[in-house]
Amino acid sequence: MLTLDNPVKVRPEARHQILDTLQANKIPGEYGLRVGIRGGGCGSSWLLGFDLPGPADEVYNVEGVRVIIDRKHLLYVIGTEIGYEPGGFTIEKENESQ
């Protein structure tokens, strides 16, 4: 069961890649991984990238990764699982695979 202390999951391979990318690119510690949605309706897509938190954001520590989620996006991203495979990151939502 997910709680707001852990609204998303970060798989070990994604965690490793995220932390390596932050370190290799010397990205300052106040940055984190932004998880959200872009667009709306049938045209929405996932948003994933490194960013600084803003006043409308919630910041979580998920498996040692600083995760930033806009409060407006929180309902949509709860239950999301971030993975990594050769070629890039993957995002899966629990109820989308059923």
The identity of residue 35, as a single letter, is V
CATH, range 9-96: 2.60.300.12
| pLDDT(3) > 50 | no
Out of 2-6, 49-53, 88-92, which region has the weakest mean confidence (pLDDT)?
A: 2-6
Q: What is the mean pLDDT of the chain?
A: 89
- pLDDT for 31 equals 96
DSSP string, the chain: ---TTSSSEE-HHHHHHHHHHHHHTT--TT-EEEEEEES-GGG-EEEEEEE---TTEEEEEETTEEEEEETTTHHHHTTEEEEEETTEEEEEEGGG--
Q: pLDDT tens across 36-51, in order?
A: 998 766 777 899 999 9
> Domain boundaries in the chain?
9-96
